[in-house]
Amino acid sequence: MTSTVSPASASRTGSASDASGSVPRLRTRQRGSTPGRPRRSVLLTVLTGLVLLYSLVPLVWLVISATKTQEGLSRSFGLWFDGDFALWDNIVDTFTYNEGVFTRWLLNTVLYVGLGAGGATLLAVLGGYALAKFEFPGRRAVFAVVIGAVAVPGTALAVPTFLMFSTMGLTNTPWAVIIPSLISPFGLYLMWVFASEAVPNELLEAARIDGAGELRTFFLVVLPLLAPGIVTVSLFTMVATWNNYFLPLIMLKDPDWYPLTLGLHSWNDQAATAGGQPVFHLVITGSLITIVPLIAAFLLLQKYWQSGLSAGSVKE
Amino acid sequence: MTTLHPPATAEPRPAPPPVGRDRRSWTGWGFIGPFVAVFALVFLAPIVYSVYLSLFRDQLIGGTGFVGFDNYRQALQDERFWAALGRVSLFLCVQVPIMLGIALLVALALDSGRLYGKSFFRISIFLPYAVPAVVATLMWGFMYGTRFGLVGDVNEAFGLSLPDPLSPGLVLASIGNIVTWEFVGYNMLIFYAALRVIPHSLYEAAEIDGAGQIRVITAIKLPAIRGALVIATIFSIIGSFQLFNEPSVLQKLAPNAITTDYTPNYYTYSLSFSGQQHNYSATVAIVMGLITMVIAYVVQLRGMRKGV
């Protein structure tokens, strides 16, 4: 019996995943925005180019500045190289300064992002799927409360969360940063929209008729269909955790648990404190090292998150 | 896909359960349960706790006592709070329209298909979003410097004397510039994604009617992405009212221009972590949260109703 059932469901899975996997992307390509083939405009390109310059010049400044020594920074013009090319020295210095504390911050950040953003994505995927494909008691209430919560300023929650966590003994531990990162209302919303579009009800029906349990159906049938949405949500939760500053600022006292953002900030402030040694070249090089992984992730995964986003905007 | 085999000990198959939206059972809770549990811990519990906190006060005599709405009364008469709120409101009224306006223009330009190198534009303008606010602020802080920074370089190279971006009169605009830089691309992408899913048939109809580009934009594109516009506006309002990272990082560079009560959030932070006034801090945070929610709600109602 099993052998007659599985090919059918397998072929259905295959065709459906082909279809919905490429639908968002195909859609963006096929639907040309404006009728016909508009002529390209130099004027419009130049005007948009101004915004492009505005976006890129600070990043160019950062890259160029990361090649300079501390003296070179004040000596040379900001948007051009100084005589000494000190990028490698700066990178080595960044990682070794103060007994390699930067490496520690980097690892902390990876830990917070891995558990925080990874967990947030998992919860959002599970929850979004439930909202999209199940009718359960309290579904509307869950939805209303979560959407309402988006409007609550995160920082309004910070003080009470800190006090709560401090009575629970969680402050100054990684959990204080990870646990609040686990909730992404935006991620839940995006997964809900995405799952309603990308997972055909007939497919779920077929899997259930085949006797697959809910978990099995979820992992083997649903999860592959949700891939572009998952990439999108994980990228955005990753950015949120990687860039988090306020939460670790209030939760962590011990520099050993700092993420990169907090650490860089403490280096920057070092010059302002009495007797502190200014290490601006390290702040700049450290900043560059901090943003490279995220920019790389966005560039490499473009195709996925852009199709995920356009699917998300269908319902807006 | 061979792994889809049902378990070997296939029990007698029950009547096929109704699927999807018709299936009214608790199964869905198995999937949403974890989210709801953590959500309750990090969203609902702190809200309840902060309401509780706001009704008490640390008194010199007798320790913490119940004071009813005294903290709220104090907050409503607190000039520092109102000054901070005024600052973020000004910020909101100037920065948000500029940022969303630029984002919308770029999205429309990308969508018009008239640009050379479209995908390069799209990804490059988006990139600053991936830069942490702290790093963006550190970076711009360096560039703003009139002695070593880019502003100083430009002054020297062209014999200009550009005003100090970190002086008290300009610092809010300088913060606005940083925030705009960070989020223009993100908003552009939201608008662009919404523009891409407008059905092609609408454009064909417009073409038959002989509608020009501008007419297509005002009659088709803008109404079609109204939802995205409203959502971006609401997020920007929330973001402006929560302003904290940028001023707090710039504070060391511009201690005279940025006080520790510069924005409502900065104020609650200072109250709580430098002043140990947790109860009052929670009150200010609640008042600010309520104001944000009311404004976001009004924008949503108006935005959704406008122009049918």
Rounded Cα gap, residues A213 and A207, in angstroms = 8
State the pLDDT at residue B94.
95
Q: Which of B32, B245, B286 lies closest to A156 in CB terms?
A: B286
Give pLDDT tens digits along chain A (316 positions): 333 333 333 333 333 333 333 333 333 434 444 455 667 888 888 899 999 999 999 999 899 888 887 777 776 777 777 777 778 888 888 888 888 889 999 999 999 999 999 999 999 999 999 999 888 888 888 888 877 776 676 667 888 898 899 889 999 999 999 999 999 888 898 888 888 888 888 888 888 888 888 888 888 889 999 988 898 899 889 988 988 898 899 899 999 999 999 999 988 888 767 666 777 888 889 999 999 998 998 888 887 777 767 665 554 3
The tokens for B155 are 């002054």
Rounded Cα gap, residues A211 and B13, in angstroms = 7
Rounded Cα gap, residues A145 and A141, in angstroms = 6
Residues from chain A contacting residue B24 (CB–CB below 8 Å)? 135-137
Residues from chain A contacting residue B153 (CB–CB below 8 Å)? 77-79
- Whether the pLDDT of residue B284 is over 70: the answer is yes
Going by C-alpha positions, the residue among A264, A121, A175, A33 that lies closest to residue B196 is: A33
The alpha carbon of B201 is separated from its chain's Cα centroid by a whole number of angstroms, namely 34
Helix (H) / strand (E) containing B182: helix B171-196
* B258: closest CA of chain A, how far (Å): 15
Q: For chain A, give the number of residues.
A: 316
Is the Cβ pair A179, B216 closer than 8 Å?
Answer: no
Rounded Cα gap, residues A280 and A271, in angstroms = 8
Q: Which of B127, B206, B238 lies closest to A151 in CB terms?
A: B238
CATH 1.10.3720.10 applies to domain A101-312: yes
Going by C-alpha positions, the residue among A208, A15, A219 that lies closest to residue A129 is: A219
Q: For chain B, give the number of residues.
A: 308
* B308: closest CA of chain A, how far (Å): 16
Task: State percent of chain B over pLDDT 90.
Answer: 27
pLDDT digits (tens, 9 = 90+) for B36-56: 999 999 888 988 898 898 898
CA distances from A304 to A23, A76, A184, A203, B122 (A): 12, 41, 19, 23, 15
Instruction: Answer yes or no: is the ipTM higher than 0.95.
Output: no
* B37: closest CA of chain A, how far (Å): 10
Residues from chain A contacting residue B58 (CB–CB below 8 Å)? none
State the pLDDT at residue A1.
34
In chain A, where the domains are located: 41-85, 101-312
- Are residues B83 and B305 in contact, defined by beta-carbon separation less than 8 angstroms? no
- Are residues B179 and B249 in contact, defined by beta-carbon separation less than 8 angstroms? no
State the pLDDT at residue B305.
67
Q: Which of B1, B27, B135 lies closest to A214 in CB terms?
A: B27
* B225: closest CA of chain A, how far (Å): 8
- Whether the pLDDT of residue B225 is over 80: the answer is yes
Among A42-46, A308-312, B72-76, B300-304, the range scoring the smallest mean pLDDT is A308-312
pLDDT digits (tens, 9 = 90+) for B103-125: 999 999 998 888 888 888 989 99
The CB density around residue A89, as the number of other CB atoms within 10 Å, is: 14
In chain B, where the domains are located: 31-68, 74-305
For residue A316, the SS3 value is coil
CA distances from A9 to A23, A206, A222, B21 (A): 21, 7, 13, 21
CATH topology of domain B74-305: MetI-like fold (1.10.3720)
Is the Cβ pair B238, A209 closer than 8 Å?
Answer: no
